[in-house]
Structure 1
């Protein structure tokens, strides 16, 4: 059955946007792999959902998770990997940023995504019988857009990691002609991270997870290499500048 069924792996699938995406893919008949830091707190969605441990901060978790998928669950391909797990704590002014906290953000958000790609690459390349195989999609942010004319105090640690992820995704696009890779800005979503941001943006999140998740799934589903790969997209399907 797994050889025929569409399979998506979602990191950070136990809450917020990751959970919303997992629910949406389940409703669409996909096999969902929920990759979470603590499997014991993953809400039950379906008997068909595979829950595996994957802590983005750990160097070996991604490889161990993929080995478990192959050996225990006999997963032979993945059609979509959604790198959603991230951290984003409020930071002080740049002159006062703690380098250890900066490094923690980079390790989780950027290095963790690199390790996820390296671990899942083989399964993505086994995705389809056509020349274009799987899709490696990274949840980014409008904060990664360097051409913007505004700056938000407190988001530098988080924003820098997202700028780096744009570069990583574009690099995958160039190095892997048989894969599709791009970043998505989901918008200002009512998640735990969105609520944190609202404390200093002085405005509540404008989108719900229930509104955003189907739009993201639609965007990923229709994405072609020629039009979408190697770019940053808004959740409504419009391109955003790097």
Structure 2
């Protein structure tokens, strides 16, 4: 136990990187999905097909492979452009890769939520004299987000746990810090249990926040 306490600052530092990667990936993916989801429904056919292809490809690839493609592919591209060896920053590659992944899943979540909003809402908005962009922002988007919240919360938890995968490219997040500490002290069980406890605390807090916000948005669930 004393060994774990001695390494606790390093583990907490790794937890900070884990949260940075998870939050950055989720936010980037969410912003992309907010744009892609309506386009996947209302855009011309070529754009809808391109989005469907992107979503299908990303959802069909292991997340670890996407991380490798971004990290090593980006390194090759930058090296060719610069004329010398340039390695992609690990945290940038990790956030970019998981952003691509989360954007694909979040697009499907938001698309399904958008389709669940009654067409009569659009008609009511148009009857009030609202143009489509303003109608979407003021009337459709709030309803879509309420319906999408359970899926969004689940995807946040998935991204939070998948952030451990970026340790494979050398990023010093929680899992990497735990592996290093376990190897240095030869006490793997203690450090892996500590890492598990930290993940459970973060996911537990996230679940409580998501549940509270969901109840706030839908008072009928009280």
TM-score (norm 1): 0.26
Normalized per residue, which structure has more strand?
Answer: 1
Normalized per residue, which structure has more helix?
Answer: 2
Larger Rg: 2
Higher RCO, 1 or 2 (CA under 8 Å, sep at least 6)?
Answer: 2
